[in-house]
Homo-oligomer: A and B are copies of this chain.
Amino acid sequence: MAKAGLPQGTRDFSSEILKKRTYILETIKKIFQVYSFEPLETPAIENISTLLGKYGDEGDKLIFKVLNNGLNDPKNIEKSKKGFEDLLAGKVSEDVTSRALRYDLTIPLARFVAMNFNNIYLPFKRYQIQQVWRADRPQRGRYREFTQCDADIVGSYSLSCEAELANIYHDVFAALGLNRYELKVNNRKVLAALARKCGGNNKLIPLTVAIDKLDKIGIEKVEEELKANGFTDEQVQIIKKFLDITGTNQQKLDTLNEIFVNDEEGLTGVKELTNVIQHTKEVNISIDLTLARGLNYYTGVIFEAKAPKEVNMGSIGGGGRYDDLTGLFGVKNIPGVGISFGVDRIYDVLEELNLFPKNIFFGPDVLFLNLGESESSKSMELLKPLRKRNFSGEVFHEQTKIDKQMKYADRKNFNFAAIIGPEEFSQNMVTMKNLKTGEQQKILQSELFNFLSKFLHK
């Protein structure tokens, strides 16, 4: 007998949880749509060659690989043996695993665009809300199967894209009641310019790794780390000046323009930031020069969305511009810019702040109690036209104690119980019990639709 259990890091979503998840996902989806993004769905299984080498060595290890079928077919067995040897030596072999589970939604997007380049029109604005899988160590808030929720614009260099995406963040968080979210923004070109000022491009990684820690370890430790990584005193002074930049967004932009006066790419980065700031007047946006986010990937503006400060949650979204999306698949010079929402974390934030609207928890509309054969047949007959008009409900499946039936109504959170006993039956009446208020009222059966319409809008 199989023991009923779930793999580590995976979850069932009951109706209770799905009501809340659906609320979040539908809110986001509706806003993607009013910004005229269109949906895309890609398969969970991709060719392993599509995924490998795209997420770094660590990423490659975290990809869930699918075993080929027919490994012990006589015609395959030699290849399978060889393939297993490769696996034991730490190499992925397509002879035994030629497919893998989607790891994110960006590489599948790139693959899709490359495959369909002659049939899509640019800019291609797509949103995608699907599961991804990662063989990460599960922990609080980190799962092996989880939902990603992305919007990307492919094929446009216009900075209006960045502004649109920042406005989407605002609209989504406002719609969810997270008015005190923060959207941090930085630019990869600015960070590259800083690295250039401090010893060249090969300093970019140690530099950003260090300044990324400023929040946690403070400026003195950052200074130590920089020196340990071979930055000169003079370079450390430049970096400190950079990190000391405070003030309003405009003040920060002004200072950056001074620092990078002789660096063309740096000035371009500042100009891009300026443009985004100018076109996001409603957004809680702030320039954060310590923001780094997967640098080898992004090439321009980068975003990170933070939960309101009163919740200890950190990032609830992120994104940025990457200027060669599809080059990996042989289609050159197609830029992209996108954002992502951390659905699981947003769920936890809304839960903690008690922000889920009450009405999403409403159960079905009406449970007809089952009090005998003629009575339940009559109930069935009355229910039919109600269902046609979008009222939800059922007749309890068997004639049993009223207590038990009412308990079922309660557990399933029905709005009304409809009771047709022998008396109601003979009078063409039905007793309606409002399960939220406890009020009870006997009405004509022919009045059912009007009665329910008064309470429940359809």
Contact B65 A34 (CB under 8 A): no
Contact A44 B97 (CB under 8 A): no
A11 within 8 A of B: yes
The distance from the CB of A55 to the nearest CB of chain B, in whole angstroms, is: 13
Q: Which residues of chain B are near A135, meaning CB under 8 Å? A: 69
Contact B13 A41 (CB under 8 A): yes
Q: Which residues of chain B are near A169, meaning CB under 8 Å? A: none
Contact A69 B64 (CB under 8 A): yes
The distance from the CB of A80 to the nearest CB of chain B, in whole angstroms, is: 6
Contact B72 A80 (CB under 8 A): no
Report if A5-B115 is in contact (Cβ < 8 Å); known contacts: A13-B40, A394-B36: yes
Within 8 A of B (CB), among A140-160: 144-145, 153, 156-158, 160
A15 within 8 A of B: yes
Contact B15 A40 (CB under 8 A): yes
Within 8 A of B (CB), among A30-88: 30, 33-36, 38-47, 49-50, 52-53, 61-62, 64-67, 69, 71-72, 77, 80-81, 84, 87-88
**Interface 0/1 of A110-149, CB less than 8 Å to B:** 0110111000010101100001010100000000110000
Report if A45-B397 is in contact (Cβ < 8 Å); known contacts: A66-B67, A88-B71, A115-B4: no
Binds B, one of A187-195, A232-240, A313-321, A385-393: A385-393
Contact B69 A66 (CB under 8 A): no
A18 within 8 A of B: yes
Complex Cα distance, B265 from A292, in Å, reads 71
Complex Cα distance, B15 from A314, in Å, reads 33
Report if A64-B64 is in contact (Cβ < 8 Å); known contacts: A4-B330, A36-B393, A88-B77: no
Report if A15-B43 is in contact (Cβ < 8 Å); known contacts: A3-B49, A67-B67, A69-B135: no
Q: Which of B12, B36, B387, B394 contacts A43 (CB 8 A)?
A: B12
Report if A144-B45 is in contact (Cβ < 8 Å); known contacts: A4-B50, A90-B72, A158-B398: yes
Complex Cα distance, B157 from A40, in Å, reads 42
A456 within 8 A of B: no
Q: Which of B7, B67, B123, B414 contacts A397 (CB 8 A)?
A: B123
The distance from the CB of A424 to the nearest CB of chain B, in whole angstroms, is: 20
Of A164, A392, A393, most buried by chain B (CB within 10 Å of CB) is: A392
Contact B408 A121 (CB under 8 A): yes
A380 within 8 A of B: yes
Closest to A107 in B: B2
- A-B CB contact pairs (8 Å), 28 listed: A1-B329, A1-B330, A2-B47, A3-B329, A4-B50, A5-B50, A5-B115, A6-B43, A6-B47, A7-B43, A10-B43, A12-B42, A12-B43, A12-B112, A13-B40, A15-B38, A18-B41, A33-B364, A34-B392, A36-B367, A36-B412, A38-B412, A44-B133, A45-B133, A64-B69, A72-B88, A84-B84, A156-B398
